[in-house]
Amino acid sequence: MQFSEAQRIKNLPPYLFARIEQLIAQKKAAGVDVISLGIGDPDLPTPEHIIEELSREARNPANHQYPSSVGMLEYRQAVAGWYKRRFGVELDPRTEVVTLIGSKEGIAHLPWCYLDPGDPVLVPDPGYPVYAGSSILAGAVPYYMKLRPEKGFLPDFADIPAEVAKKAKVMFLNYPNNPTGAVAEEAFFSEAIAFAKEFAILVCHDAAYTEVAFDGYRPISFLQVPGAREVGIEFGSLSKTFNMTGWRIGWAVGNTFAVEALGRLKSNIDSGQFNAIQKAAIAGLEGPLDSLKEVNEIYRQRRDMLVDGLNSLGWRLEKPKATFYVWAPVPAGYTSASFAEALLEKAGVVITPGTGYGAAGEGYFRMSLTVPTGRLKEAIARIKSNIGPVRF
């Protein structure tokens, strides 16, 4: 029997990557050697000392019972320690840190804490699809802040109509940015804080990529900026930093009221993350960080190969300073969708069309650096022989 779905899920677009995975499976079943640059999921393993700690802690019966929904104090202390060492930011682990089952979980639940049906929510376009999706589930109405190349893919707050700003209660931001690879500096965050104060908006900064950066560049935390914790929280995660996307462990830090509200909501929904995983995450946050340098060097080599390769075919891309994404315009004569289709059909290369991240992603596509250089070289060779030189 097929049951009639609730309106809130009927309004929800299918999750972008679920569809891409389906397409890849179809091509593979047809015998195509697919090169997938579509999904941003690190291909390198979690560092050994973190895995060791999990295996040890998994054997401890004390960890087999329900965890706390807001997380172990010890883990929250480790997150506070990380913020102190990495960003020079002091956090109270009891009131300013909540454990998340991956940052996506917190991002998806946050709108339930602050958005009533019909409330506008400020969402970057293009942007990580969870901001709009979770807001729509809560009944809120996304107002899309366009990220334009001439503004460095930062939203222009002057574009937001006063009547929207007055009613909006939440704004999502994400730097280093998925999908554009753009970065933000203190001046931009200061502007965001001033805007948020003026209109009483909670800034939710998604900082999943602060540790994936190149050429000596060190992304900042939103919370480093004066006034940030009065108006904002920051979502963080071990997923991209330590190649732990499968482990599901992250945090939200900052504004005490928002941290408490998210914890209260979570206590009604989940029972927290497995303590052994939190213990292993502590080993990551407090342990040796050599793997970060090594992994970033691998991404840098891939980035250079991919960007130089595309530029040799007619693109004029700059190398992103952070994230493992390359965001590129589609050649003349294509839309995002038709270019993605042409690449898959003619070259067996999967990319994500920019429109998967919002209407403003039209004219762009995203490639992920989570495959070995040999495969990137092969992808460039296939684009060269099957798509040919391009114009813009």
Ligand X SMILES: *Cc1c(COP(=O)(O)O)cnc(C)c1O
Which positions lie near ligand X, rule CB under 6 A? 40, 102-104, 128, 174, 178, 206, 208, 237, 239-240, 245, 250
To ligand X, the closest distance from the beta carbon of 250 in angstroms equals 4
How far is residue 5's CA from residue 132's CA, in Å, rounded to a whole number? 20
Closer of 165 and 360 to ligand X (Cβ) = 360
Based on CB atoms, which residue is closest to ligand X, 324 or 339? Answer: 324
Residue 114 Cβ, how far from ligand X at the closest point, in Å? 18
CB nearer ligand X, residue 174 or residue 275: 174
Burial of 294 (0-12, 13-18, 19+ CB in 10 A): exposed
User: At 361, is the secondary structure helix, strand, or coil?
Assistant: helix
Beta carbon of residue 147, minimum distance to ligand X (angstroms, whole number): 13
Within a 10 A sphere around the Cβ of 217, how many other Cβ atoms?
12
Residue closer to ligand X by CB (options 135, 245) is 245
Q: Which is nearer to ligand X, 75 or 334 (CB)?
A: 75
Contacts 24+ apart (CB under 8 A), 61-65: 62/275, 63/274, 63/275, 63/276, 63/279
CB closer to ligand X, 189 vs 334: 189
Task: Give the residue carrying structure tokens 């684009």.
Answer: 383
| CA 319 from centroid of its chain's CA atoms | 19
CB 258 to ligand X: min, Å: 17
In the block, which residue shows the tokens 């927290």? 272
The rounded Cα 32 to chain-centroid distance in angstroms is 29
Closest CA to 323 of 249, 378, 241, 236: 241
Describe the strand order of the beta sheet including 202-206 as a list of residue ranges: 97-100, 250-254, 232-237, 202-206, 170-174, 120-125, 141-146
CB of 30 to ligand X, least distance (A): 29
Task: Compute the least distance from the CB of residue 388 to ligand X, in Å.
Answer: 32
Residue 125 and residue 359 in contact, taking contact as beta carbons nearer than 8 Å: yes
Question: Rounded to the nearest 5°, which phi and psi values hold at 96?
Answer: -120, 10
Q: How far is the CB of 152 from ligand X (least distance, A)?
A: 17
Q: CA torsion angle for 71, 72, 74, 79 (degrees, to 10)?
A: -10
Categorise residue 223: left if φ over 0, alpha if ψ from -120 to 50, beta otherwise.
Answer: alpha
Instruction: Return the number of the residue (41 or 260) whose C-beta is nearest ligand X.
Output: 41
Residue 128 C-beta: closest distance to ligand X, Å: 4
Return the number of the residue (321 or 382) whose C-beta is nearest ligand X.
321
